[in-house]
Amino acid sequence: MAGLSRLSGCLYITSLEARRNNMSEPITHSGIWVLAAIMIVLVSWYMYKYLAPSSWHEWAGAGVVQAFIIALYAEMYGFPLTIYLLARFGGLDRTGLSANLWSSLMGMGETGMMISMILGYILLFIGIGIFFQGWRQVHRARHENKLVTDGLYALARHPQYTGLFIALFGEGVVHWPTLFSVGLLPIIIFIYYRLSKREELAVIKEFGEEYIEYQKRVPMFIPRVSQWKSFIAQSK
């Protein structure tokens, strides 16, 4: 995937630099749309499989995540809309443009793209690990009809969502930021915050005082500073 990101970046740069002295001409760029479609379908399939939306509120949250995924990979492998808009209307310096926003802003070319890619993938895989470990714990607890308060759930009440936020931040803000992915991330966090509050009301009806005491002890999404090392270690 790293090589594909660099390849798509090189294709974008060729298209953008060819017109940087004449921005009145439209940018034409074929991109790697087949790869963009494959990534969108693949990532979306896993997202729906493990988020498993059932209620209207869950479908709304999954839909916004879906929009995030489409916007991200359409720009990563298709057309660099964010770079085009910022160069055309936002005053972005057209010298040394890259398809990657961080690379263009810092003027670091492929070095900047590589740095953002590595940091983004580190966060992406940490987030995925937290998400799947949280999913395994809660899935097992549902079969046993008990309240899960150990493992990741001893450090955060909704570690699955924490993992989701970290993964989206790593891929859509650190690795390959776009206007849409950066703008949608706070909306996603807000939607899942509201969803978490609804879920907790249902859990309180089932487990009562036991869950209320658990709420008092454990943060919703963000573990305490001293617990992050353990939080990440338990996701492996």
Span 123-165, pLDDT tens digits:
999 999 999 999 999 888 888 888 999 999 999 999 999 999 9
What is the reported pLDDT for 16? Answer: 44
DSSP letters spanning 58-96: HHHHHHHHHHHHHHHHHHHHT--HHHHHHHHHS----TT
What is the reported pLDDT for 19? Answer: 42
| Mean of per-residue pLDDT scores for the chain | 84
Q: pLDDT > 90: what percent of the chain?
A: 55
Task: Using alpha carbons only, give the angle 23, 72, 138 rounded to the nearest 5 degrees.
Answer: 165
Span 93-124, pLDDT tens digits:
666 667 778 877 777 777 878 889 999 999 99
Backbone angles phi, psi at 144, to 5 degrees: -90, 0
Multiple choice CATH, 2-233, 3.30.60, 1.20.120, 1.10.8, 2.60.40: 1.20.120
Task: Using alpha carbons only, give the angle 47, 49, 55 rounded to the nearest 5 degrees.
Answer: 90
Task: Using alpha carbons only, give the angle 166, 86, 112 rounded to the nearest 5 degrees.
Answer: 55
What's the pTM?
0.83
What is the reported pLDDT for 95? Answer: 66
Rounded CA gap, 175 and 169, in Å? 8
**Helix orientation angle between 2-17 and 81-89, rounded to the nearest 10 degrees:** 30
Checking if the pLDDT of 11 tops 50, the result is no
Domain range annotation of the chain: 2-233
Span 41-60, pLDDT tens digits:
999 998 898 888 888 889 99
Assess contact for 172 and 182: CB atoms under 8 A: yes
Checking if the pLDDT of 23 tops 60, the result is no
Backbone angles phi, psi at 200, to 5 degrees: -70, -35
66: tokens are: 């879906």
**Under DSSP, is residue 24 helix (H, G, I), strand (E, B) or coil?**
coil
When mean pLDDT is compared across 63-72, 80-89, 198-207, 208-217, the lowest value belongs to 80-89
Backbone angles phi, psi at 7, to 5 degrees: -65, -45
What is the reported pLDDT for 94? Answer: 67
When mean pLDDT is compared across 42-46, 47-51, 87-91, 173-177, the lowest value belongs to 87-91
